[in-house]
Amino acid sequence: MQFSWKKQTYKPIGKRQLNVTWQYIVLMVLAFVFIAPFLWLINTALKDTSELAAYPIHWLPTVAQWNNFAQSFTVINFPAYAANSLVLASMYATLITLSSSLVGFGFARLRGRGKRSLLLIMLSTLMLPSILTVIPTYVLFARLNLIDTYWPWVLWGLASSPFHVFLFRQFFSAIPLALEEAAIIDGCSYFRMYCQIFLPLSFPVIATSFILSFTWVWGDYITPSLFLSQNNTTLAVAMSLGYTDGHGNILTNVLAAGSVLYVLPVLLIFVFAQRYFVRGIVTSGVRG
Amino acid sequence: MKSSQRGRWSRYSSRTFYLFVSPWILGFLFLTIAPLIYALLVSFTNFDGISQHWQWIGLANYIELLHASDTWFSLGRTLLYMIITIPLSIAGGLGLAVLLSQRLRVVGLFRSIFYLPSIVPIVATAIMWKLIFDRDVGALNAIIERLGGSPVTWLIDPTVFYALIIMVLWGLGGGMIISLAGLQGIPQELSEAAIVDGANAWQVFYKVTLPLLSPVLFFQVITGVIYSLQTFIQPLLLAESNGATTTSSVPSSNFFYMVNVYQQFLYNQRFGYGSALLWVLFALILAFTLLVFRSGTFWVYYEVDSEQ
């Protein structure tokens, strides 16, 4: 593969054309490799059970078995688990966005003793591996009878998250001081300033924060599998365990169909709100 | 008068500051520090989660884990995994970023395609890759059978380790976006000036682009170390099992440090021993992160007057 930087401009046209063609070919092959798992998942979801048992392996379903999708709704109580995921994710996302915007405003706009060191502590907890606290929290919450309730998510949501706080802080810091001064002269309290001036301005960050935390809970496996029982758990956990026949054999095609339906919301959010994902990851990347 | 007014204002401001940041402070104290301290205390006991009479056993858990072959074996597997995945995913992400920073059409579409896997929920990712590597219905064996070979059981030792690495590398799009953002932050004049001075494409990449990108790559190494040392959901979900996700079904080549911790906690109910293992991991992650930070002075380039 020919690497070329801006040097292209200095090459004769014919050679540049060839180069571009090669780059497209490389990109297309790579794109296919990245998409292949999705395609195979959908392909498997449409196969008949006898086709799955065939040797050598059957490539494409002879007749698309849409019934697998219907079955994925009944083998496990898909709608109920999806509702659990939806409730938990939207509740957590709302709380974390709200609390993080408050804390972010504090760090961006207010002055207080020890602010610098607090900010430093908060930023260093970004590096704290989450798993270190999750398991001890489970043991602790088990003793407080908080297991198999949604309270842990409420508490985590209220507590704000360093990453989301950082997103808001960066955004609020960039807003001109003149706006704040004008509001203070008009006798506006900081809380009103936050509600009526800063929050309405920060739609892009609110969207980023909400979408990232929503998809996080939707995709999280370990926390619900630890903190919630079989009945109250989220779709992620129910799906990874539930698609079996009476004898514990995995119903591969139904599992695949269920997985398609499970990732679909995330894919839709991604299609319509890609820039918010990107904003989140870029902010986290350039802080170093 | 004026100074007392200012004092009142700064007291008001300070009070408001603490009011605003109190959610984080309380959360930090009760949901981060408290569990960590609790785990530290428990790590000196033989607590099993159920029985009421558990005792202080001092450093016994720590001494035991130092002598346990599981600890060293799982740590070795984790480090091997870390050493393989970090360079591959950073280099892969950077390669894609460079490809996508060319003046080409539909670059946006390709960027989305490469980025997409990194936001797919872990459970779905694992199911997809299990279907690729499956012995009886897998895409990989379908290709092998088409080429006249006989099916291979991939998801067992030792191949399951490579399957895991491929699955994790599939999600390198996150790093790609970070590198892409870094590339876009590099002023074009610099590479153009180098070209005018007679540098070829590789020289521009090595002498101009890479040094300017090093802080971004450095960040990826740090997060890579932190994430890969705590990897355990992927091996757990990739393990072959009949409708149950258990640590005992994880093949030994994917028996990572955290898999061991999880097993001690949830299946052996050894909360004390598990907590000791967790704290050792904490110390290890801290040590590795510091090591990488130290190494940064040798290979990370910062513009001198960028800040301060």
Specify whether A63 is located in the same domain as A95.
Answer: no
Contact by Cβ (8 Å): A241, B236:
no
Residue B85: φ, ψ to 5°: -75, -35
* Interchain CB distance below 8 Å, B99 and A158: no
Beta bridge partners of B45: B56
Residue B245 pLDDT > 70: no
* Interchain CB distance below 8 Å, B23 and A262: no
* Interchain CB distance below 8 Å, A270 and B170: no
* Interchain CB distance below 8 Å, B110 and A31: yes
CA B40 to chain centroid, in Å, comes to 23
Specify whether A125 is located in the same domain as A264.
Answer: yes
Q: Domain boundary at A24, A50, A68, which?
A: A68
Residue B118, in any domain of the structure: yes
CATH code at B150?
Answer: 1.10.3720.10
- Average pLDDT (B199-216) is 86
Write out chain B residues lying below 8 Å of A139, CB-based.
Answer: 38-39, 42, 49, 271
Q: What pLDDT digit, counting tens, does each position of A164-221 carry? A: 999 999 899 888 888 888 888 888 888 898 998 899 999 999 999 999 999 999 999 9
Write out chain B residues lying below 8 Å of A217, CB-based.
Answer: none
Specify whether A196 is located in the same domain as A147.
Answer: yes
Q: What pLDDT digit, counting tens, does each position of B246-279 carry? A: 777 888 999 999 999 999 988 888 999 999 999 9
* CB contact set of B102 (below 8 Å; sequence gap of 6+): A4, A8, A23
pLDDT band, residue A16 (cuts 50/70/90): low
Q: How far apart are CA B101 and CA B95, in angstroms?
A: 10
> What's the confidence (pLDDT) of residue A157?
96
Residue B27, in any domain of the structure: no
Residue B55, in any domain of the structure: no
pLDDT band, residue A270 (cuts 50/70/90): very high
Specify whether A153 is located in the same domain as A262.
Answer: yes
Amino acid, single-letter form, for residue B207: K
| Cβ neighbours around B11 below 10 Å, total | 12
Beta bridge partners of B27: none
| Cβ neighbours around B248 below 10 Å, total | 10
Contact by Cβ (8 Å): B45, B57:
yes
Residue B37, in any domain of the structure: no
| pLDDT-above-90 percentage for chain B | 54
- Closest Cα of chain B to A250: distance in Å? 6
CATH code at A244?
Answer: 1.10.3720.10
pLDDT band, residue A3 (cuts 50/70/90): very low
Which of A1, A2, A4, A5 is the best substitution to test chain B (most B C-beta atoms within 10 A)?
A5
Contact by Cβ (8 Å): B204, B194:
yes
Q: What pLDDT digit, counting tens, does each position of B44-73 carry? A: 999 887 777 778 998 999 999 999 999 999
Specify whether A178 is located in the same domain as A45.
Answer: no
Q: Domain boundary at A68, A97, A117, which?
A: A68
Peptide bond into A200 cis (omega under 30): no
Specify whether A98 is located in the same domain as A212.
Answer: yes
Residue B25, in any domain of the structure: no
| pLDDT-above-70 percentage for chain B | 95
Residue A11 pLDDT > 50: no
Q: Domain boundary at A23, A48, A68, which?
A: A68
Helix ranges (H only) for chain A are 13-45, 49-53, 67-75, 78-109, 115-125, 130-143, 151-158, 162-173, 177-185, 190-193, 199-201, 203-219, 222-227, 235-242, 252-285
Residue A1, in any domain of the structure: no
> What's the confidence (pLDDT) of residue B54?
79
- Residue found under tokens 């989140």: A280
Specify whether A185 is located in the same domain as A48.
Answer: no
Q: What pLDDT digit, counting tens, does each position of B116-138 carry? A: 999 999 999 999 999 999 988 89
Residue B80, in any domain of the structure: yes
pLDDT band, residue A111 (cuts 50/70/90): confident
Q: How far apart are CA A20 and CA B54, in angstroms?
A: 69
Specify whether A16 is located in the same domain as A157.
Answer: no
Phi-psi region of B184 (alpha: psi -120 to 50; beta: other; left: phi over 0): alpha
> What's the confidence (pLDDT) of residue A8?
41
Average of per-residue pLDDT values in chain A: 87
Domain, as residue range, for B183: 64-299
Which residue in the set A5, A222, A241 is minimally distant from B243, CB to CB? A241
Specify whether A59 is located in the same domain as A82.
Answer: no
* CB contact set of A182 (below 8 Å; sequence gap of 6+): none
Shortest CA distance from A51: residue in chain B:
B137
Specify whether A28 is located in the same domain as A49.
Answer: yes
Contact by Cβ (8 Å): A72, A258:
yes
Residue B233, in any domain of the structure: yes
> What's the confidence (pLDDT) of residue A278?
80
> What's the confidence (pLDDT) of residue B242?
54
- Structure-model confidence comparison of residues B105 and A83, the more confident one: A83
Report how many domains make up chain B: 1
Residue A7 pLDDT > 60: no
Residue B303 pLDDT > 80: no
pTM (2 d.p.):
0.89
Specify whether A13 is located in the same domain as A113.
Answer: no
Specify whether A127 is located in the same domain as A56.
Answer: no
Residue B243 pLDDT > 60: no
Structure tokens at B86: 């970090």
Structure tokens at B104: 């080409």
Structure tokens at B304: 């001198």
Domain, as residue range, for A58: 6-68
* Interchain CB distance below 8 Å, A249 and B115: no
Residue A243, in any domain of the structure: yes
Contact by Cβ (8 Å): A40, B132:
yes
Residue A96, in any domain of the structure: yes
* Interchain CB distance below 8 Å, B132 and A27: no
Report how many domains make up chain A: 2
Residue A231, in any domain of the structure: yes
> What's the confidence (pLDDT) of residue A5?
38
